Structure formats: C-alpha cells, structure tokens
Amino acid sequence: MIVVDSSGWVEIVRGGERREAFREAIKAAGTVFVPALVVYEVYRIVERLAGEGEADGIAAHLRSHTVVDLTDEIAIAAAKLGKQHRLATADAVIYATAHHFPATLVTGDSHFAGLPDVKHIPLVPDAQPPR
C-alpha cells in the first residue's frame, strides 16, 4: 500500500526523468491511496500547464485509485506530524494520510527524505564529464 504525493503524479504526467520509478512503485503497490488534496494539487498544476481537458483526464485516472477524504482524524494527525517534522500543511496532510492506513509515502520532494515510512525518489544528478 502506498500514497503517491503530488510530485509523483506530476512527474508521470510531464514525462519527467523519474516517471518510470513512480510508475514502477504504483505497479508494485497493489493499493494506491490518493489524498483528495493531491487530486486538487495535481488538477491545478495540469490545468495550468496543459488545459482543462488534460486535467480532467488525470483526475479520472486518480479516481481509479482509492481517493481518501480529509477526515478530522487525519487532520489532527497532520497537525501533530506537521509540527513534529516541520511540514507545510499540504505535506502534513499527505503524510498523515499515509500514516492512517499505514502506507508508504512515495515522493520526489526532498523535504520528506529520511522520514519514517517514506520512499524518496530523488532527481538523478547530471552526469559529470570525466576529468
């Protein structure tokens, strides 16, 4: 079971260098939880970059997984985890959603790197030319 944060879905949509790593994580997971807040974030980004039609398409794809509403229980956990790990509100909600099940959070955002139950997929550094 995993939660893929917004960075992962956007990476897939945009065809970024980590696209295949996120796709493999989703394929291997079995169950993918999508916080409703991720639907919001991804929709806004895709709509801005590619238009409403593309945004509607990604929203439909996200809905093919298990969308999780923000409950009072997740909100309180987010407040605690946000304070503990110094996370912004949206990040705390996404992280708390993963903890709720429990599921692994799969992310490309470096501020999650090193936190418990997180699989961070880093950017691949540019290859340095031989000296």
pLDDT score at 49? 92
Cα(67)–Cα(104) distance, rounded to whole angstroms?
15
CATH assignment at residue 41: 3.40.50.1010
- Domain that includes residue 48, residue range: 2-120
CA atoms within 13 A on the CB side of 82: 14
Contact 112, 91 (CB under 8 A): yes
Q: What is the pLDDT along the chain (131 residues), one digit of tens a residue?
A: 999 999 999 999 999 899 999 999 999 998 999 999 999 999 999 999 999 999 999 999 999 999 999 999 999 999 999 999 999 999 999 999 999 999 999 999 999 999 999 999 998 765 444 44
User: Could you tell me where the DSSP H helices lie in 1-131?
Assistant: 6-14, 19-29, 36-50, 52-63, 72-85, 89-100
Per-residue model confidence (pLDDT) at position 74? 98
Q: Is 13 contained in some domain? A: yes
In a domain, residue 91? The reply is yes
> Is residue 53, in this structure, part of any structural domain at all?
yes
Per-residue pLDDT, 125: 62
Total tally of structural domains belonging to the chain: 1
Per-residue pLDDT, 130: 47
How confident is the model at residue 123, as a pLDDT?
85
Separation of alpha carbons 6 and 106, rounded Å? 10
* Cα distance from N-terminal residue to C-terminal residue, the chain: 44
Whether 60 is covered by a domain: the verdict is yes
